[in-house]
């Protein structure tokens, strides 16, 4: 039996989950893995939180140095989240030759290159399976199962809050009511902006793209949220044979990487369309294994804590990770091609459709279909589906259309991915 002493920093939701699992399942974990994980010390400014969990006085501290200076601690688990002081704590642990396990997507997305380099310099491991997808083993899948394969593209539902909101809106709720329901159930924060604006999904996608394509990718990627999506958009999508998901999309073609996060219309028959409520899913397309999808809970105390402990076990058993990154150009997003859903809000009078069509045509945008439902109002919605078009042309065309006197609201633009 291998004994692995751990120091835990952060007794919030996930940290408390780690304590609970080790209290309940430490013996079972040892029998299954041959590793006895011992919580040597936990660090939190609120020491009383540890006492509520049943930790002894000698297991508690409010000073991080007590963890890194303890020669008996082998692994530091960082679960405080955010950029700072998490980054500083992680680097300090690595510099003290401590292995590190973290669920911190923000710090890995922004400072991953620096952190990985520090781990290599000190011949220690940094593990972060729980940073993306909660209990979905996507990091290990990419690093291990696909080690001999070439991943071509990733499509991910990477945020449970937005997926829950869109699911509820698809069933008839408006955005505000769907958000309130998500907050009541604990899926959304009081300030949900980080989720609904797509930033959480973007951080996770950056981590996946770095691993899948061995690329050095910065945080500056196209990121759009769901706040402009209406329940009518979801109904229109359904009528057209699609559903709307907030997708993280990354592809590698001709030695360049395309990476973006935004609401996306996908066919209702696709596997990703069946992923509802707060669940996450990652759909991989690769050269050898072709298509596969992993899905499950993307967050939650015990699911995430379980994955964190799994990383500790891997490190205790001597598992080594080799991480290399190349300079791969990021594709200029103005050059990407897609089909588009365009919803215009225009005055109800003759000649309007002709004006819209002319501007789109002048910008090399071909129309695949038009939907205009008769309503007894001064303004009416007009939905146009395009053939494949270039992003720069779409932006220019929409800018010209939105400047027209006949257009009364900013045009809604949703990209369409006919995923195979």
Catalytic residues: 204
Number of H helices, E strands in the chain: 14, 17
Give me Rg for the CA atoms of the chain.
Answer: 24
How far apart (Å, rounded) are the C-alpha atoms in residues 369 and 403? 23
How far apart (Å, rounded) are the C-alpha atoms in residues 193 and 197? 6
Grouping H, G, I as helix, E, B as strand and the rest as coil, residue 162 is helix
Q: Is 13 exposed, middle or buried (0-12, 13-18, 19+ CB in 10 A)?
A: middle
- The DSSP letter of residue 44 is -
* Chain-centre distance for alpha carbon 287: 23
Name the CA dihedral angle for 291, 296, 298, 301, rounded to a multiple of 10 degrees: -150
Find, among 66, 72, 76, 64, the residue nearest to 119 by Cα. 76
What are the CA-CA distances from residue 94 to residues 82, 152, 197, 278, 288 (Å)?
18, 33, 33, 34, 36
How far apart (Å, rounded) are the C-alpha atoms in residues 101 and 124? 11
- Is the C-alpha dihedral spanning 100, 106, 108, 111 positive or negative? negative
Grouping H, G, I as helix, E, B as strand and the rest as coil, residue 225 is coil
Q: Is 264 exposed, middle or buried (0-12, 13-18, 19+ CB in 10 A)?
A: buried
What are the CA-CA distances from residue 300 to residues 161, 240, 257, 390 (Å)?
12, 34, 31, 39
How far apart (Å, rounded) are the C-alpha atoms in residues 343 and 98? 54
How far apart (Å, rounded) are the C-alpha atoms in residues 170 and 238? 9
Report the alpha-carbon angle 136-142-148, nearest 5: 145
* Chain-centre distance for alpha carbon 60: 33
């Amino acid at each position: 039996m291998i004994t692995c002493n751990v120091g835990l920093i952060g007794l919030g939701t996930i940290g408390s989950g780690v304590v609970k699992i080790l209290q309940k399942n430490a013996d079972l974990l040892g029998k299954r893995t041959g590793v006895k994980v011992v919580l040597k010390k936990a660090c939190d400014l609120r020491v009383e939180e540890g006492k509520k969990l049943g930790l002894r006085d000698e297991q508690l501290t409010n000073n991080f140095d007590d963890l890194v200076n303890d020669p008996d601690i082998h692994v530091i688990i960082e679960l405080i989240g955010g950029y700072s002081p998490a980054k500083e704590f992680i680097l300090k642990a690595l510099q003290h030759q401590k292995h590190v396990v973290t669920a911190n997507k923000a710090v890995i997305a922004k400072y991953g290159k620096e952190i990985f380099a520090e781990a290599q310099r000190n011949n220690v491991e940094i593990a972060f399976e729980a940073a993306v997808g909660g209990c979905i083993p996507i990091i290990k899948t990419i690093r291990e199962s696909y080690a001999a394969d070439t991943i071509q593209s990733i499509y991910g539902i990477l945020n449970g809050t937005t997926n829950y909101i869109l699911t509820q809106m698809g069933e008839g709720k408006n955005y505000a009511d769907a958000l309130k329901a998500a907050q009541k159930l604990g899926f959304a924060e009081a300030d949900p902006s980080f989720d609904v604006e797509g930033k959480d999904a973007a951080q996770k996608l950056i981590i996946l793209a770095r691993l899948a394509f061995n690329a050095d990718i910065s945080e500056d990627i196209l990121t759009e949220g769901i706040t402009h999506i209406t329940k009518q958009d979801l109904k229109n999508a359904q009528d057209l044979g699609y559903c709307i998901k907030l997708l993280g999309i990354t592809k590698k073609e001709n030695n360049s990487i395309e990476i973006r996060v935004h609401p996306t219309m996908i066919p209702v028959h696709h596997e990703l369309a069946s992923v509802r409520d707060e669940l996450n899913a990652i759909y991989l397309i690769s050269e050898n294994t072709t298509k596969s999808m992993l899905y499950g809970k993307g967050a939650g105390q015990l699911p995430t804590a379980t994955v964190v402990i799994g990383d500790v076990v891997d490190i205790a058993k001597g598992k080594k990770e080799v991480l290399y990154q190349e300079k791969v150009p990021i594709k200029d997003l103005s050059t990407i091609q897609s089909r588009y859903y365009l919803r215009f809000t225009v005055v109800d009078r003759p000649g309007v459709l002709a004006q819209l069509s002319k501007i789109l045509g002048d910008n090399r945008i071909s129309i695949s279909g038009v939907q205009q439902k008769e309503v007894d109002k001064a303004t009416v919605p007009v939905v146009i589906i395009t053939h494949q078009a270039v992003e720069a042309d779409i932006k220019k065309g929409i800018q010209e259309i939105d400047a027209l006197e006949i257009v009364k609201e900013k045009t809604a633009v949703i990209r369409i991915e006919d995923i195979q």
